[in-house]
Amino acid sequence: MTWTWFHRLGSPPYIYRLAGRLTPWFGWCAAILLVAALYDGLFVAPPDYQQGDGVRIMYVHVPCAWMSLMVYTTMAVAAATGLIWRIKVAHAVAASCAPIGATFTAVALITGSLWGKPMWGTYWVWDPRLTSELLLLFLYLGYMGLRSAFDDLQRADRASAVLAIVGVVNVPIVHFSVLWWNSLHQAPSVMHFGKPTMELSMLIPLLTALLGFTLYFAAVLLVRVRAEVLRRERAASWISEVVRP
Amino acid sequence: MSHFLAMGGYARYLWPSYGLTLLAVVLNIVWARRLLARAKRDARHRIEMQAGRQ
């Protein structure tokens, strides 16, 4: 097995150009899937026998919650890659993940709370799922705060990478909290072993939204990574080729 | 139409959820693009400065 692909992925000009080429593909596929999921979720999927039309909040809440965990995991893996192999591009990826993850974690919390009010009778409870998701938001904010506290980029990369890696223990805690502890929050009905415990008519818009949001994340991440790479590679000669006026 | 917008009485919880998610989706695109545009502008500026010095 050759490792050339791995080394190429660590090369800033290669990543810059590759990201630029891939962004529209991810972006347009995401746009199509998200519009389809929106239509399916609002018009086609049936109302729930208990929650009525309120169940449609699921089609935005679950994808946002999925983003919060998936983006954090990506960030931690990128940070670890940067730390272990000393790859600058990996640190650029990790740094680019944080603001995206933080927004969707906040939206997952707020949409969850808007769903909780009519179904549970309260906007907020200090429930294990809700509390660990709130902690996830603080991890993102802490990561971003820590990065901005350093003037030296390399030190910011290394210190924030350690935080990202340590914080990744919270990801399985968020996911399994509803099984490990008594929780008001319902148990997973898609991401668990065995068959999903959901009607196909509801599962399809949900899975479409999950895939759409994942591709959307890829597109936004790639744009941010390009910006981050440009900012970091101040002296490199290849930059004059890609930003020629 | 008003039946659809009422969402079986859940309108005041459902539409803010959808609106907020849409806002997050749009804002993340705007922020990322703005960041890239600024990085490109700065890089171009640096290159011009270097060329001016030589």
pLDDT at position A133: 97
Half-sphere exposure of A136 (CA within 13 A, CB side): 37
* Selected residue with higher pLDDT from B44 and B1: B44
A15 domain residue, yes or no: no
Q: What value does the mean pLDDT of chain B take?
A: 91
A79 domain residue, yes or no: yes
**Angstrom distance (rounded) from CA B25 to CA B30:** 9
Q: With contacts defined as CB-CB under 8 Å, which chain A residues touch B54? A: none
| Nearest by CB: B21 against A60, A118, A234 | A60
pLDDT at position B35: 97
- ipTM rounded to 2 decimals: 0.93
CA distance A20 to chain B (A): 11
> How many domains does chain B contain in total?
1
What's the one-letter identity of residue A227? A
Mutate to test the interface with B, among A56, A229, A241 (most CBs of B within 10 A): A56
**Short-list A179, A189, A165, A181, CA closest to A72:** A165
pLDDT at position A23: 98
**Angstrom distance (rounded) from CA A213 to CA A102:** 15
Task: Quote the domain boundaries for residue B39.
Answer: 2-53
pLDDT at position A35: 98
A57 domain residue, yes or no: yes
Reported pTM: 0.94
Q: With contacts defined as CB-CB under 8 Å, which chain A residues touch B43? A: 230, 239, 243
Contact A201, A44 (CB under 8 A): yes
In chain B, which residues touch A (CB < 8 A)?
A: 7-10, 13-14, 16-18, 20-21, 24-25, 27-29, 31-33, 35-36, 38-40, 42-44, 46-47
Nearest CA in chain B to A31: B25
What's the one-letter identity of residue A97? C
pLDDT at position A90: 96
Neighbouring residues of A96: CB distance < 8 A, sequence distance ≥ 6: A221, A224, A225, A227, A228
pLDDT at position A28: 98
The answer to whether the CB atoms of B32 and A224 lie below 8 A apart is: yes
> How many domains does chain A contain in total?
1
A91 domain residue, yes or no: yes
Consecutive sets of 10 residues in chain A, 245 residues long: mean pLDDT of each?
72 92 98 98 92 94 97 98 94 98 98 95 93 98 97 96 97 92 82 74 95 98 96 82 76
The answer to whether the CB atoms of A103 and B20 lie below 8 A apart is: no
In tens, the pLDDT along B11-35 reads: 999 999 999 999 999 999 999 999 9
DSSP 3-state of A48: strand
One DSSP character per residue, B21-40 reads: HHHHHHHHHHHHHHHHHHHH
The answer to whether the CB atoms of B33 and A243 lie below 8 A apart is: no
A142 domain residue, yes or no: yes
A105 domain residue, yes or no: yes
Q: With contacts defined as CB-CB under 8 Å, which chain B residues touch A118? A: 10, 13
A220 domain residue, yes or no: yes
The answer to whether the CB atoms of A117 and B43 lie below 8 A apart is: no
pLDDT at position A198: 84
In the 8-state DSSP scheme, what is residue A40? Answer: I
A28 domain residue, yes or no: yes
